Amino acid sequence: MVHDCSEGTYIVKVRKSDKELIAAIEKLGEDVDILRRQETNELPRIYFDRHLYLPLLLEKSDKPHTVPPGLKKSEAQFVRDLKTYWTAEKDKSLAGKEVFLLRNLSRGSGVGFFEESGFYPDFILWVVDGKKSQRIVFIEPHGMVHANAYIHDEKARLHERLPELAKEMGQRSKRKNIMLDSFIISATPYDDLYKRYDDGTWTRVKFAEKHILFQEQKKDYDYLQILFMSMK
């Protein structure tokens, strides 16, 4: 089963014997508004109007397989957290700013770094502050249990290279208000990671300084607040 959407083409693979599910998905395909704006179990997805293309499908082991694959758990959680944060802050700390999200594509179609290893961050976040600035942030949510030490992890250190790239882009385009940045969003909690990461002494503050945030939202730690505060 193939569905065309504004993001491209989704291929949905369903067993021929599962006739009820096939009928339900086909019905969704006939009503584009429901497909894009509502969340149902037949084809699990997230509706977030700040994402540039819809629908955003989810990866579920007991649901249809899709190509491209649906969002993994940590990726879906990031979108849900960002949706909640935007709703709460759009007229407060984010007043006057426009926020847009785009799920990055893979090799051949997406925005990638490091030719040899081919790193394609999961998301691209745009934060536009009127005519003053445009910040483009590459975001990669994933588990970090097996992460290399920071000095050997080119994904984690991408943020160190991006200011120079932004400078080069500005010189070519004659636009001086574009800033590039990147963050790793660790699905591995801090308490499970810090002893085994690098030399075992990193605090939450040091992780944040190196643009590694934990997918946690508590009274004294909100990773999205830290991310957006870094843009001021």
pLDDT truncated to tens, each residue of the chain (232 aa)?
Answer: 444 444 456 677 667 767 766 676 666 666 656 555 666 666 778 889 999 877 788 887 766 667 777 899 999 999 999 999 999 999 999 999 999 999 997 766 778 887 666 889 999 999 999 877 899 999 999 999 999 999 999 999 999 999 999 988 888 877 778 899 999 999 999 999 999 999 999 999 999 999 999 999 998 999 999 999 998 6
Global confidence as pTM: 0.83
Closest by alpha carbon to 125, among 207, 213, 58?
213
List the structure tokens of 136: 């483009």
Instruction: Work out the burial of residue 222: count CB atoms within 10 Å of its CB; fewer than 13 is exposed, 13-18 middle, 19 or more buried.
Output: middle
SS3 57: strand
CA angle 144, 55, 71 (to 5 degrees): 15
